[in-house]
Structure 1
Amino acid sequence: MARNELRPIIKLRSTEGTGTTYVTRKSRRNDPDRMVLRKYDRALGRHVDFREER
């Protein structure tokens, strides 16, 4: 299996609608569903949920 197939690059977008994004990799085996992480949104100045977009 190639590296990009096992751990693809994904974009996390803020659920608050500010347009802030993070770019990361995820494991398809451990997290087959869409990933949701709580990260810092610089536009709001606080932590919010970031959801994987496809």
Structure 2
Amino acid sequence: MARTELRPVVKLRSTAGTGYTYVTRKNRRNDPDRLVLRKYDPLARRHVGFREER
């Protein structure tokens, strides 16, 4: 049970507006704010920021 509380599954949505998403886990203690990662968006064909969606 402790695993789901500390490292929840979060959905990362593209900021390019394509609707493409990634799914990952995050450590709530290290990253309490919304996560933003720069990843590849195949619909936009470039690297863009992916923001955590709640």
Sort the TM-score into its range (normalised by shorter chain).
over 0.9
Structure-1-length-normalised TM-score = 0.97
Structure-2-length-normalised TM-score = 0.97
Alignment map for 1:7-46 (pairs within 5 Å): 7-46=7-46
| Residue identity (%) | 78
RMSD: 0.9
Structure 2 unpaired stretches of 5+: none
Structure 1 unpaired stretches of 5+: none
